[in-house]
Amino acid sequence: MKSLRGFRGFIVGLLSGSMLMLAVPTMAATVKQFVLNEAAYPIEVNGSTYESEQLPVMNYKGSTYVPLRAVGDLLGATVGWDSAQKKVIITYGSGGPVQNNAFRNVHVTGSGGKYTVTGEGRIFEAMMSYAVEDGHNYLLEKNYMLSEGAPAWSAFKLSISIPANKLPANGTLMLQLFEYSAKDGSKINILNIPLETFGGE
């Protein structure tokens, strides 16, 4: 009886060990490794050379990789992170009017925590919402009543003030225009707009 139990234990252990050994190469195969080398050549954009010891230009198999925010600065673009949608947002130059199905002709002016945002909204029941976030936290969230509801477009003007002690030391302050769904209360027609980028090089 003891030998039968020992044999069963041996078989169970052998099967468990075999399955574990088969799983290890599979797990190892899912890990990808990339070896980048520091580029030995300069990067020049509109007459300005990018140089940084902390964030160097890298090369991988003949392709050049540069820090996105640094190139954005050289090109006059705003680079920001939208934490809600987990994506990078790049606005080139003035960016021109920003729009989606619910908001159009959106323009931002101001700096240092004081911003004016103008545009037009086409919102069900005329109640639009907006929030400002720093990539980690929402600094404010408010509602604004348009003069008319959808399908009409109504002009809006937002005056946004963020206290100096709430401004990020390094990062992008993002404005989020949206409306709440009448069906389930979720945010819909979200339009993300960079207000200002702080820090960097």
Q: What is the pLDDT of residue 135?
A: 80
State whether 84 and 15 are in the same domain: no
Cis amide leading into 151 (omega within 30): yes
CATH number of residue 103's parent domain:
2.60.40.10
- The whole-number mean pLDDT for each consecutive block of 10 residues of the chain, a chain of 201 residues, reads 60 63 60 83 70 80 79 66 74 62 90 94 94 90 95 95 91 91 88 84 48
Q: What is the pLDDT of residue 158?
A: 97
State whether 184 and 87 are in the same domain: yes
Q: List all residues 6 or more positions away from 149 whose beta carbon is below 8 Å from its beta carbon.
A: 123, 124, 125, 126
94 domain-assigned: yes
Q: Give the span between the Cα atoms of 108 and 120, in whole angstroms.
A: 13
171 domain-assigned: yes
47 domain-assigned: no
140 domain-assigned: yes
State whether 29 and 86 are in the same domain: no
Q: What is the pLDDT of residue 27?
A: 56
114 domain-assigned: yes
Q: What is the pLDDT of residue 43?
A: 79
Q: Domain residues for 5?
A: 1-33
For residue 181, how many other CB atoms are within 10 A of its CB?
12
Q: Give the angle 110-115-116 at the CA atoms, nearest 5°.
A: 100
- 117, amino acid identity: V
Residue 195 and residue 174 in contact, taking contact as beta carbons nearer than 8 Å: yes
State whether 98 and 153 are in the same domain: yes
pTM given for the model: 0.54
172 domain-assigned: yes
65 domain-assigned: no
SS3 91: strand
State whether 8 and 88 are in the same domain: no
Q: Give the span between the Cα atoms of 140 and 47, in whole angstroms.
A: 40
Q: What is the pLDDT of residue 26?
A: 56
Q: What is the pLDDT of residue 24?
A: 57
Tally of domains within the chain:
2
Helices then strands, counting H and E runs in the chain, come out as 2, 14
